Amino acid sequence: MRPRTIAFTGGGSAGHVTPNLALIGKLRESGWNVHYIGSGDGIERGMIEETGIPFHSISSGKLRRYFDLKNLKDPFKVMKGLWDAYRVLGRVKPKVVFSKGGFVSVPVVVAGWLRRIPVIIHESDMTPGLANKLSLPFASNVCVTFPETLALMPRGKAEFTGLPIREEVLNGSAARGRAFCDFHRQKPVLLIMGGSLGARAINDAVRAKLPELLERFQVVHLCGKGHVDPDLEARRGYKQFEFVSRELPDLLALADVVLSRSGSTSINEFLALRKPMLLIPLTKQASRGDQILNAESFRASGYCEVLPEEELTPEELLVRLSSLYDRRQQYIDRMEAGTRTDSLRRILALIDSIAG
């Protein structure tokens, strides 16, 4: 039987790519041909090309919510992206298009609709981003990560699936993580993640109280590009990295508690691994407020503590992290008892049923 083909799209941030990678691995195992459509200069290109999947670059403009002179020319980039995507889909002839969002996905979704190819979109956050809002009328099915999101979606189109998690994230080794950091077993491990570019407010607060934190924890600090402090390189029990990729599953397995932003992909990985978390969402001034809603949903379920950035001080951070660790078993128990959904299985079954 001729293998079926699926086209994925999504980019602009790692959070728009890694859930796709979780699905792609399983689809390839079952014999699907997989193609990826993204931006030539986006983060998705490097992440996808590492896997050997055919990558098709299209023109893309950014969808901005604020005034910028670039807004005048970006509609033409989007129109060219639509033509690019239409031609790619004509060559590839997929049974299904799967979109994870990001501005590059919009022309692909519309092109799929024009080609009469069923389009599935997946929304990671509790409220849909602008790209997915624009894509909704052209989608045949919508998968959502938070059950609360169903109320915001067209009736009959949406399904609560959760977020697909990559198998490698679930199979990390604490022993490898300990060796990578040269840590011992006598103190618990605090993992700090500020996002791919880092978070200056979090970095500054952590380093202001680093001596006190090191009295209780060994600290792994993913501080973002350009934010490594050379003066702290020799500090015993403190390891700082701009970012990690291959070693991240091992660091997650090693961590006893996590301090992080509240991007949907990251916090759902922490949930799957049962990691107590202190979340510091991006402010509304720095985002559309999606991280605040994600964090509040997790707090309402009893999975985390939340510290608004407006209330972040070195002293408050130290108090909250100590409280989180002291109560860690309560958070683990709530995560164990929470609603579970086999996201990979549900989304793969949906893809199969649509492909026929």
- pLDDT digits over 232-269, tens only? 988 999 999 998 989 999 999 999 999 999 999 999 99
- pLDDT digits over 298-312, tens only? 999 999 999 999 999
Q: What is the pLDDT of residue 216?
A: 97
Is pLDDT at 155 greater than 90 in this prediction?
no
Least confident of 2-11, 60-69, 161-170: 60-69
Return the CATH fold of 5-162+341-355: Rossmann fold (3.40.50)
Q: Write down the mean pLDDT value for the chain.
A: 92
Q: What is the pTM of this model?
A: 0.88
Q: What is the pLDDT of residue 89?
A: 98
Is pLDDT at 315 greater than 60 in this prediction?
yes
Consecutive H or E run containing 153: none
Is pLDDT at 13 greater than 70 in this prediction?
yes
Q: What is the pLDDT confidence band of residue 285, given thresholds at 50, 70 and 90?
A: confident
Largest CA distance in the chain: 63
Over pLDDT 70: what percentage of the chain? 94
- pLDDT digits over 50-83, tens only? 899 999 999 986 655 555 556 566 777 889 999 9
Q: What is the pLDDT of residue 200?
A: 87
Q: What is the pLDDT of residue 72?
A: 61
Give the tokens for residue 229: 């402090």
Over pLDDT 90: what percentage of the chain? 76
Q: Which amino acid is at 311?
A: E
Is pLDDT at 326 greater than 90 in this prediction?
yes
Mean pLDDT of 137-162: 93
Q: What is the pLDDT of residue 64?
A: 52
Residue 270 CB: number of other CB atoms within 10 A? 26
Give the tokens for residue 257: 């508690």
The CATH class given to the 171-337 domain equals alpha beta
Is pLDDT at 339 greater than 80 in this prediction?
no
Is pLDDT at 157 greater than 60 in this prediction?
yes
User: 146 phi and psi, to 5 degrees?
Assistant: -110, 135
Q: How many CA atoms lie within 13 A of 64 on its CB side?
A: 12
Q: What is the pLDDT of residue 197?
A: 55
Residue carrying structure tokens 């029990």 = 237
Query: Is the Cα torsion angle 181, 168, 292, 132 positive or negative in sign?
Result: positive
Least confident of 66-75, 171-180, 218-227, 327-336: 66-75
Q: What is the pLDDT of residue 198?
A: 57
Instruction: Kindly report, as residue ranges, where domains of CATH 3.40.50.2000 are found in the chain.
Output: 5-162+341-355, 171-337
CA distances 336 to 19, 271, 275, 323, Å, are 22, 9, 11, 20
Q: What is the pLDDT of residue 194?
A: 83
Mean pLDDT of 346-354: 96
